[in-house]
Amino acid sequence: MNTKNRRKLISRSVGIVITFLLALSSILTFSTAAAAPAQTITKGNTTEKVVALTFDDGSDGTNINNILQTLSTHNVKATFFLSGVGINNHPQTIKNIVNQGHAIGNHSYTHPDFTKISATEMRSQLQRTETAVLNLTGKTTKPFFRPPFGAYNSSVLQTVGDAGYRYSVMWTIDTIDWTGNSSSDIVNRVMTRITPGAIILMHTGAGAKGTPAALPTIITRLKGLGYRFVTMSQLMNLPTSSTRTYTVKAGDTLYAIALRYNTTVARLAQLNNITNTSLIRVGQVLILPGTTTPTTPPSTTVTYTVKAGDTLSAIAARYNTTVARIAAANNITNVNLIRVGQVLKIPTTTSTTPPPTTTVTYTVKAGDTLYAIALRYNTTVARLVAANNISNPNLISVGQRLIIR
């Protein structure tokens, strides 16, 4: 190899290496993009007479069922901040909380002071609790976190935000019920400090012995003052505790998930504190807006077998529906990719056949059967027989022109 060629080869190799390093740098920067820090909430931003009852659950959960009975009697919903040890020690009562429609949040796994542990341990505490709650109830604790002891700093807020918890929930009124104070003292603390949008802090454990007796009085008196009880989600104008979640799978994009659940990328990004909408990871649990469910075909759903040259747009136009609805009904993530022979569910609220504007006909070809033609045009053999005055459905001839509809 002569000197000139050698120089060209070296130059080309160096260029490839530089391009690779720049791409790698971009990927690393891209993959480590941080979410916004969690927002500290001490009170709802409202002048309306609403109040949020919140209960921190620890290892024993002695008073949970008593509290739930009172809430049910007075038709009040509250928010429970769950710990991992509590889920392990009294799983049925945790199920009762969720089954009765109350909201939930994350209160760590073993209740450590987050300002005294590493970011890695913080993430572990949050994830272990989230996983335990999901496995037990099917619900997510996101986007609410309450720091143990109410201890937080900028590092805690950033780590919590990165983990998908948009709100670090504190309180407006501390009943200090964990000290074992009397029910009358708890009631007095609430009634003398109440304000629109207040967040009231209570506990579920045996140490809060005055809470079960204080709760009915608090609810009755606040209702008498015109207060309405809300969950943290309602206080923050977020989806309620019945919000569904979706676990990201290989090949998913935020756009495809938004399409499937009839929402927008922006809404998903907002709910999940996502700053880079191109970056989601397999296994990530996303909060879905409202109580929406994947778009599923209604009772009038029909099917269509994809033929050569078909596009989703053309099929949607034929059946008077949309590409988005067909994609959602068939779990299609790439609307430009369908295959010949693929059987599609066609959601429609009108008829079970493509809406014709003119009569459709078909010329019989070698190998055709009436059944195959009926299947192709999403009709029935009986209808073809009737439309074409056929006496023997097993006898059609090549070149015969059939009226389809």
The catalytic site residues sit at 56, 203
Q: Which residues of 48-70 are buried (b: 16+ CB within 10 A; e: fewer)?
A: ebbbbbbbbbbbebbbbbebbeb
Q: How far apart are CA 132 and CA 145, in angstroms?
A: 15
Give the other-Cβ count within 10 Å of 157's Cβ: 20
Calculate the CA 150 to chain-centre distance. Answer: 27
Nearest to 56 by CA among 214, 235, 202: 202
Tokens of 285: 């649990």
Q: How far apart are CA 387 and CA 222, in angstroms?
A: 71
Complete DSSP assignment for 102-147: -EEEE--SS---GGGS-HHHHHHHHHHHHHHHHHHHS---TTEE--
Strands 79-82 and 103-106: parallel
Strand partners, 40: 168
CB 146 within 8 A of CB 170: yes
Report the chain's terminal Cα–Cα distance, integer Å.
74
CB 175 within 8 A of CB 202: yes
Compute φ and ψ for 165, nearest 5 degrees. Answer: -100, 105
Give the other-Cβ count within 10 Å of 325's Cβ: 20
Strands 361-363 and 401-403: antiparallel
3-state helix, strand, coil in the chain (%, to 5): 40, 15, 45
